[in-house]
Structures are given as C-alpha cells and as structure tokens.
Amino acid sequence: MSIFRGGLLLSNVSNYIEYLFLWRILCQLMNEEDDDINIHPDFHELITYFYRLIKSSVNQKLSSTKEFIICQYASILSTYDMLDIYRRKCIEATGRCILVHYGQYEKIIEQAFYLIHRVHSSIDTINERYKLITYTLNDIIQRCQNEEFEKLTFIQCMTIIKVFIEQEKQIQLNHTDFKQLIDSLVRKKKNNSN
Amino acid sequence: MDRRRQIISLIEYSSNSLEFLLSTIETDNDLSQLAFESLLSDERGFTINTLGIQGRLAIFKLASTSRDLSRLIFTRWISQNGHELIDILQLCELSNLNDRSIIEIALRYFLDDENIRRIVINNTKIAIGNSK
C-alpha cells in the first residue's frame, strides 16, 4: 500500500535528503513498536530509485551526498518485513552497495549487518530463510559470471555475504567480527591483485 | 551566588557569549546544562539560524544524552520561527556531517511521542503533495 500516489520521495522534492533521513527514522520507530498504522512507502518506487542510484554510481566516485542517500536507502530497506522477493532484492542491493563502497565500506557494513540480522530474526523460519538466501546468492553469482564488467568484485562481495551468513548460522557474530571478516577478505583480495 | 551562576551571568552580558556558551556546552560537564538552558532562553535571542552549524551540532550533542533536552530543543526551534522539522534537519547539513548519528538520536527521542509522529507524517505528506 502506498500513502503517496506516485511513490515516496520523488527526487525533485526539495529537502530530499532530509525527507529520506526522516523517513528512515519513522519507519524504524514504527517497526519497533509493531504499530498498526502502515506508513511504509511505495516499495517498488523506493527500490527502483535505489537501483538507479547504485547503477549510476558504479563507475564514479561518490559524493558524500550520494553516499549518504545510499546509506539511507539501505537502512530503510532493512526495516521492511519483506516478502521473499523483496528480501532477495534487498540482499542484492546490499551486495551492490558493498561493491560501490569497496574501500570505504564502514557505514554500509553497518547497514548490511543490520539487514542480515533482520533476515535471520526468527528462530522458527531460520532454515527456510537460509535456503532462500543461499539460493539467491548463488543465482546472483551465476548471473555475474556472465557479465564481464563487474565479474570479480561483485562475486567477491556476494561471497563475503555468503560466508558471513554461513558462519552466522553456527555462531553469534557481532558487528566487530563481521567487520574483521570483511577486512581480512579485502586484504586477501588486495594481496592477490598485487 | 555560587560560582557557576556567577560565570553564567557574566557570560550573558558578554558580546562574545555565543562562542563561550558553546564551548562551555562542549567542554565543561558541570556547566553544560546551565549553558544549554541559558543559550535557549528567550532573553538571549539566539535562533537556530544565528547559532550556525557548529552551534547547532554542539546543542544536538548535548541533547542526544537526554530525552527531555531533545524534546526541548526541537519543540523550541519549531515553535520559535515556525520552522518545520524538515527545515531544521536541512540546516544541520546532514549529508556532510560526520556526526549525524548524534542528530539521529535526538530526533528519535523527539519522534518517540506518537502524537508528534502523526503530525510529522502528516506534514511530510502535505509537503510532498505540494511539490508535485
């Protein structure tokens, strides 16, 4: 359900960044309270814009404004109680975020961690979710192998997430552990390419 | 009169008091609350605009430590010049600010109130509707 006809937060709205920031906090507060009121924005609109943004930024260095917008989007996405297709899209979007931020990834990792934590939020459905995530990641990796352009880095990003999810199944990792894991993988990659 | 009040009353008559108050808020734990209140009091005449980006940030830093202070500053700034919440956020230059998590904490405190949230959501709807 959309409360705004034509989607939330059109990019021609002045104060766009501030609305996005505000919107994220509202979504999270609503989510915490499990409120009846549905204030969720039009998800398709949101994710379409997010994709456009990520896609446009693959080949360029991000301004701090764009970086901030991407963080806000990733964060909004992470608050959704999503249908399966949405979860998959979110995982993919997060992977792309990490790709874009390769090298300056701290904020995104924070969001990725939050997202993955939410995907695993219920013990009852954890196995089902795990299967879904694994399936999705494999699917993405396969498709990436056919796209020469982003082959190596993107695969690696997805692999990082996959490794993380597999580990999380067995032990409770905290944020620091995840960061260390990413750090070690990044270092390995750098050594390999030298 | 104790030493604290003496200092604050001196600050209030100084033309450089804004900077002094701000640095007191940031650096002096004992006096920061007092400086904070003084800075926001009507007689001082400081508005969200005249405080400048550093001033606003200093205030948010202190506000993020307390629910009451957070509500106080947002309520005051909104009522003071008829600012919308979104205008206040814009003045904080969110996209360039490393310390934006501080603002976020204060904002969360403010939005914790369901009635306030309803008003904010409603205003957001109207603003987006108008811009089309």
Confidence category of residue B105, pLDDT binned at 50, 70, 90: very high
Residue A111's pLDDT is what? 53
Shortest CB distance from B89 goes to which of A10, A21, A29?
A21
Long-range CB contacts for residues A82-86, cutoff 8 Å, separation at least 24:
A84/A132, A86/A43, A86/A47
B109-121 tens-digit pLDDT: 999 988 888 888 7
Closest residue on chain B to A68 (Cα)? B95
Report the alpha-carbon angle B122-B125-B130, nearest 5: 125
Distance from CA of B31 to the nearest CA of A (A): 31
Helix (H, G, I), strand (E, B) or coil at A173: coil
Res. A28: pLDDT tops 90 = no
Across all residues in chain A, what is the average pLDDT? 56
More confident residue, A174 or B60: B60
Q: Does B132 touch chain A (CB under 8 A)?
A: yes
Tell me what the mean pLDDT of segment A112-124 comes to: 55
Res. A104: pLDDT tops 70 = no
More confident residue, A135 or B122: B122
Among the ranges A4-8, A147-151, A178-182, B54-58, which has the highest mean pLDDT value? B54-58
Tell me what the mean pLDDT of segment A16-37 comes to: 73
Structure tokens that stand for B57 in this block: 């940030």
* 8 A C-beta contact, residue B88 and residue A6: no
More confident residue, B52 or A54: B52
- Whether A143 maps to a domain, the answer reads yes
DSSP-derived secondary structure letter, B66: -
Closest CA to A137 of A154, A158, A116: A158
Confidence category of residue B27, pLDDT binned at 50, 70, 90: confident
Confidence category of residue A48, pLDDT binned at 50, 70, 90: low
B11-26 tens-digit pLDDT: 666 655 777 777 777 7
Closest residue on chain A to B97 (Cα)? A64
**Inter-chain CB proximity A29 and B111 less than 8 Å:** yes
**Inter-chain CB proximity B131 and A12 less than 8 Å:** yes
Shortest CB distance from B107 goes to which of A12, A15, A25?
A25
Interface A-B: count of C-beta contacts within 8 A:
62
Residue B108's pLDDT is what? 92
**Inter-chain CB proximity B128 and A22 less than 8 Å:** no
> Which residues of chain A does B95 touch, with a Cβ-Cβ cutoff of 8 Å?
17, 64-65, 68-69
Alpha carbon distance A81, A118 (integer Å)? 9
Q: Could you list the residue range(s) of the whole structural domain that residue B19 is in?
A: 1-46
Q: Do B34 and B68 belong together in one domain? A: no
Closest residue on chain A to B89 (Cα)? A18
DSSP-derived secondary structure letter, A13: S
- Whether A3 maps to a domain, the answer reads no
More confident residue, A101 or A137: A137
Tell me what the mean pLDDT of segment A126-137 comes to: 54
Tell me what the mean pLDDT of segment A125-142 comes to: 54
The number of CA neighbours under 13 Å toward the Cβ of A176 is 0
B53-100 tens-digit pLDDT: 888 888 888 888 889 889 988 988 888 777 788 888 888 888 766 678
Tell me what the mean pLDDT of segment A42-70 comes to: 61
Q: Give A 17-46 residues with CB within 8 A of chain B.
A: 17-19, 21-23, 25-26, 29, 39
Res. A194: pLDDT tops 50 = no
Q: Do B20 and B63 belong together in one domain? A: no
Q: Do B75 and B10 belong together in one domain? A: no
DSSP A15-30: THHHHHHHHHHHHHHH
Residue A151's pLDDT is what? 44
More confident residue, A101 or A132: A132
- Whether A33 maps to a domain, the answer reads yes
Task: Say how many domains are in chain B.
Answer: 2
Tell me what the mean pLDDT of segment A85-105 comes to: 50
Q: Do B14 and B29 belong together in one domain? A: yes
Q: Do B82 and B119 belong together in one domain? A: yes
**ipTM of the modeled complex:** 0.77
Q: Could you list the residue range(s) of the whole structural domain that residue A38 is in?
A: 16-193
Helix (H, G, I), strand (E, B) or coil at A83: coil
Structure tokens that stand for A1 in this block: 């359900």
Q: Do B75 and B116 belong together in one domain? A: yes
> Which residues of chain A does B121 touch, with a Cβ-Cβ cutoff of 8 Å?
26, 39
Structure tokens that stand for A84 in this block: 């399966």
Q: Do B36 and B59 belong together in one domain? A: no
**Inter-chain CB proximity B129 and A4 less than 8 Å:** yes
> Which residues of chain A does B85 touch, with a Cβ-Cβ cutoff of 8 Å?
22
Q: At what angle do helices A16-33 and A64-77 cross, to 10 degrees?
A: 20
A92-101 tens-digit pLDDT: 555 555 544 4
Q: Do B75 and B34 belong together in one domain? A: no
Give the number of residues written for chain A.
194
Closest CA to A14 of B132, B80, B10, B101: B132
Evaluate the CA torsion angle B86, B90, B96, B98 in order and state its sign.
negative
Distance from CA of A6 to the nearest CA of B (A): 10
Q: Give B 45-74 residues with CB within 8 A of chain A.
A: none
Closest CA to A15 of B110, B50, B123: B123
Q: Do B24 and B61 belong together in one domain? A: no
- Whether A76 maps to a domain, the answer reads yes
Task: Say how many domains are in chain A.
Answer: 1
- pTM (two decimals): 0.60
State how far the alpha carbon of A175 is from the alpha carbons of A5, A81, A107, in Å: 38, 22, 12
Q: Do B26 and B90 belong together in one domain? A: no
Max Cα-Cα span within chain B: 58
Residue B110's pLDDT is what? 93
* 8 A C-beta contact, residue B72 and residue B40: yes
Q: Does B124 touch chain A (CB under 8 A)?
A: yes
Structure tokens that stand for A72 in this block: 């806000």
Residue A22's pLDDT is what? 86
Alpha carbon distance B98, B92 (integer Å)? 11
